[in-house]
Amino acid sequence: MDVKTNTDIYEKLHALARDLWWAWQPEVVSIFRDLNPIKFQQLGHNPVMLLKEFTRQELENRATELMLHSRVNWAYRRWQEYLKSDETWGATHTGLLGNQPVAYFSAEFGIHESLPNYSGGLGVLSGDHLKSASDLGVPLVAVGLLYQEGYFHQTVDAQGRQQESYQRIDTDHLPVELVRTAEGDEKIIAVQTRGGDIFARIWKVKVGRVLLLLLDTHLPQNTDENQRLTDRLYGGDQLKRIRQELLLGVGGARALQAMEIRPSVVHMNEGHSAFAPLEYIRQLMHEDGRTYDDAIRDVSAMSVFTTHTPVPAGHDRFDASLIEEHLGPLGDMIGLDHNGLMGLGRVDPQNPEEPFCMTVLAFKLSQCANAVSNLHGVVSRRMWSHLWPWKNEKEIPVGHITNGVHVPTWLSAQMRMLYDRVLPEGWSTRTGEPEVWSGFEKVLPGELWETHQSLKNRLIQYARVNASAQAKRRGEKPDQIERLQSALDARVLTIGFARRFAPYKRADLILRDLSEFRRIILDAERPVQFIFAGKSHPADENGKAILQRIFKLMQTPEFNGRVIFLEDYDINLARHLVQGVDVWLNNPRRPLEASGTSGQKVVLNGGLNCSILDGWWAEAFDGENGFAIGEGRSHANHDIQDDRDAIALHDVLVNEIIPLYYDRDDDDLPQAWIGRMKRAVRTLGWRFNADRMVMDYVQSTYIPAAGGTSCDLNSVH
Ligand SMILES: *Cc1c(COP(=O)(O)O)cnc(C)c1O
């Protein structure tokens, strides 16, 4: 064995582990897993931690034992080629950005379960955006915060009450690296407030070709209170919230400046980062000697804002004293007095009663704004029309780009093999083209069905192991633990429901008629089983009550392992669920689900959506590529709407879904069902993926914003 190879394997594996590119390469994931499957799982699929278990010599021995050398060399070479390649979509479509990247600001990034810097859909969407930008070769640098404790971990006690706990992360265990000065010191940025400066250091994370910068205030020069600023995501009061947002927007822009990165476009993913344009106004005035009027015009021309929710509580509002304390110093630097500042965050600048709203600020400081689905565009234009009182609703300058998911992240390895066989060569670099997906029609029904069944079995196995271990931990009776060890049945129609337990998502809609629910579950010939998961925000008592109600069904012996609740919904659990269910249930109170993305992950893997015609599904459903609950109506009275939707849900289940699923041919294949699976992949795959989404952002927003031309979204709606 020559020494050079020894060095190589060790260095190469460590290098691969420190670029999150590995997370969407199944071949690289399997190298890490093979090194020690049990440890890899125990360590939350974190290869940086896994590799710490091995000395150089041990790693070499293990690699030899498993004959890993050629796999590692291959992976490493592919990675190098990926990083170097100039034959990307971006190379031919982003020339107008010049050499200046897009700066993408987001409060959370969900890239992989081993970097717990996200709470839910918004974070996973940001993560998928970065991965697609990387794959497409779109020059983009992302900015966020590094939370020492991330979002909470969920357990549920024996009474069904959600318990929250926080785990401190150790940056030594993450693929992060400090940004340093030429002298080797930590690079520190500062943001002024009336009460003193807030300092932060900058961590770099590699996400393929994309650089992600995360700020962290855990520094001795900060007050104790400010040191805790970046401990938790969405875990504080208004004071902490505005400081986090100040850090994200102003601090983030300063971090880029400190690294001499001058963006061509500022993309605010949700209003949390809406202070960023104010800092860019300051930079233009102070460094380039521009007037305020020139600076605000140029900064809004280069700013893109994506709004993500029609739920009123989803829009941050701050009172005047918080704004004065935190934005006063920046206002002084750009010549805005208190009223001038407040005016930017108010619909009516003159109204002293109006609090400062981050969404209003973002709209006022960006020439280009978008919602995240067609229907959400309609709702957002109505919701914010008072910002443009001189325009009629159709002219409100808020377009839409529908969310999509990153295909290599969410597509199972088994299903990918099917894609490789029936889609044209190179399909994975052309996922935005409808023709590429039409090849899926060629899949043989039996093959598709058995692939799906194997994924479903994997999910059931996973659910049994975890549900029974969780029951054991909460001290449940042996017969209940035993029941969970053999819960669920691969022959039974399996419906998944996993998302945040926010009341508008109505996890309990199916329980509105409990006796019907019981009848459906326990039907002797055509039974149904459910797997639920999801966290409720710690302060959301209504959400927790819904969770408790669902949870108690699992403890009801009568349901005999046909209703399962799995704790601590995260990216890993999401992957198992979206890859293994037959049906994905989504029943929000229309029109409150701006887009939703989990159902798109299900599509890729052959599952069928059963959803209210809200968010992405309102534009996706064509009558045969899944199932619709109701006809897309809303009602001012929640009770009436909920009753009506519960009946519609029951109807579609009993009259369409269950009969179709159990209608088998002589080979025990549900041919009509399989037809729908194929149709779903073919008609939805090309549209609801993140490559298409990022290409839309580039062409309709980034390029116009960088070129100072008006953004193209108005034609989209
Ligand atoms: C995809 C995903 C979400 C978003 O789901 P919705 O459909 O928007 O509710 C939330 N959490 C996790 C862990 C996800 O993977």
DSSP 61-118: HHHHHTT-HHHHHHHHHHHHHHHH---SHHHHH-GGGTT-PEEEE-S---S-TTS---
Ligand 1 pocket test, candidate residues 373, 499, 567, 569, most atoms within 8 A of CB: 499
Whether 89-403+695-707 and 415-683 share one fold: the answer is: yes
Give the Å distance between the CA of 119 and the centre of ligand 1.
9
3-class secondary structure per residue, 22-36: HHHCHHHHHHHHHHC
At 67, list the tokens: 């004959």
Give the Å distance between the CA of 336 and the centre of ligand 1.
40
Give the Å distance between the CA of 122 and the centre of ligand 1.
8
Give the Å distance between the CA of 615 and the centre of ligand 1.
13
**Which atom of ligand 1 lies at the shortest distance from residue 593's CA?**
8
Give the Å distance between the CA of 498 and the centre of ligand 1.
8
DSSP 576-604: HHHHH-SEEEE---TT--S---HHHHHHH
- Rounded Cα distance between 71 and 651, Å, is 51
pLDDT digits (tens, 9 = 90+) for 72-107: 999 999 999 999 999 999 999 998 898 899 999 999
**Which atom of ligand 1 lies at the shortest distance from residue 119's CA?**
11
Alpha helices in 426-569 (DSSP H): 434-438, 445-473, 478-485, 514-522, 541-554
By the 10 Å C-beta count (0-12 exposed, 13-18 middle, 19+ buried), 608 is classed as: buried
A 10 A CB-CB count for 332 gives: 13
Residues contacting ligand 1 via CB (< 6 Å)? 120-121, 124, 499, 569-571, 574, 596-598, 601
**Which atom of ligand 1 lies at the shortest distance from residue 571's CA?**
13
Closest CA to ligand 1's atom 9: 499
- Region of residue 142 (phi > 0: left; psi between -120 and 50: alpha; otherwise: beta): beta
Give the Å distance between the CA of 328 and the centre of ligand 1.
37
Closest CA to 203 of 442, 2, 20: 20
Ligand 1 pocket test, candidate residues 597, 603, 611, most atoms within 8 A of CB: 597
What values do phi and psi take at 608, rounded to 5?
-110, 140
- Say what the pTM is: 0.97
Give the Å distance between the CA of 499 and the centre of ligand 1.
6
Give the Å distance between the CA of 648 and the centre of ligand 1.
24
pLDDT digits (tens, 9 = 90+) for 121-138: 999 999 999 999 999 999
CATH level 3 topology of 89-403+695-707 = Rossmann fold (3.40.50)
- Rounded Cα distance between 657 and 608, Å, is 10
For the chain, which residues make up each domain, given as ranges?
3-84, 89-403+695-707, 415-683
pLDDT digits (tens, 9 = 90+) for 571-618: 999 999 999 999 999 999 999 999 999 999 999 999 999 999 999 999
Question: What pLDDT is attached to residue 617?
Answer: 98
Give the Å distance between the CA of 613 and the centre of ligand 1.
18
Pairing assessment for the beta strands 265-269 and 210-216 based on DSSP bridges:
unpaired
**Which atom of ligand 1 lies at the shortest distance from residue 601's CA?**
1
- Rounded Cα distance between 156 and 554, Å, is 12
- Answer yes or no: are the C-beta atoms of 631 and 651 closer than 8 Å: no
Strands (E) located in 555-710: 563-566, 583-586, 608-612, 627-629
- Answer yes or no: are the C-beta atoms of 188 and 115 closer than 8 Å: no
Closest CA to 108 of 150, 138, 149: 150
pLDDT digits (tens, 9 = 90+) for 289-321: 999 999 999 999 999 999 999 988 889 999 999
Closest CA to ligand 1's atom 11: 120
Closest CA to ligand 1's atom 2: 121
Give the Å distance between the CA of 369 and the centre of ligand 1.
23
- Rounded Cα distance between 438 and 582, Å, is 22
Closest CA to ligand 1's atom 1: 598
- Answer yes or no: are the C-beta atoms of 543 and 534 closer than 8 Å: no
A 10 A CB-CB count for 496 gives: 27
Vertex 422 angle, CA 621 and 428, to 5°: 75
First to last CA, the chain: 63
Closest CA to 408 of 24, 65, 43, 22: 24
Closest CA to ligand 1's atom 8: 596
Give the Å distance between the CA of 612 and the centre of ligand 1.
16
Question: What pLDDT is attached to residue 1?
Answer: 44
- Alpha-carbon torsion 659, 665, 667, 669, what sign? negative
Closest CA to ligand 1's atom 3: 121
- Rounded Cα distance between 567 and 574, Å, is 11
DSSP 296-340: HHHHHHTEEEE-----GGGS-EE-HHHHHHHHHHHHHHHT--HHH
Question: What pLDDT is attached to residue 712?
Answer: 72
Give the Å distance between the CA of 564 and the centre of ligand 1.
18
**Which atom of ligand 1 lies at the shortest distance from residue 499's CA?**
9
CATH superfamily of the domain spanning 415-683: Glycogen Phosphorylase B; (3.40.50.2000)
**Which atom of ligand 1 lies at the shortest distance from residue 405's CA?**
1
DSSP 447-470: HHHHHHHHHHHHHHHHHHHHHHHH
Question: What pLDDT is attached to residue 2?
Answer: 47
Could you give the 3-state DSSP secondary structure of residue 160?
coil
User: What secondary structure letter does DSSP report for 534?
Assistant: -
Q: How many CA atoms lie within 13 A of 704 on its CB side?
A: 19
Report whether the peptide linkage leading into residue 591 is cis, meaning its omega lies within 30 degrees of zero: yes
- Rounded Cα distance between 624 and 614, Å, is 17
Residues in the chain where the model's pLDDT stays below 50? 1-3, 6, 716-717
- Answer yes or no: are the C-beta atoms of 154 and 567 closer than 8 Å: yes
Ligand 1 pocket test, candidate residues 372, 595, 598, most atoms within 8 A of CB: 598
Question: What pLDDT is attached to residue 541?
Answer: 96
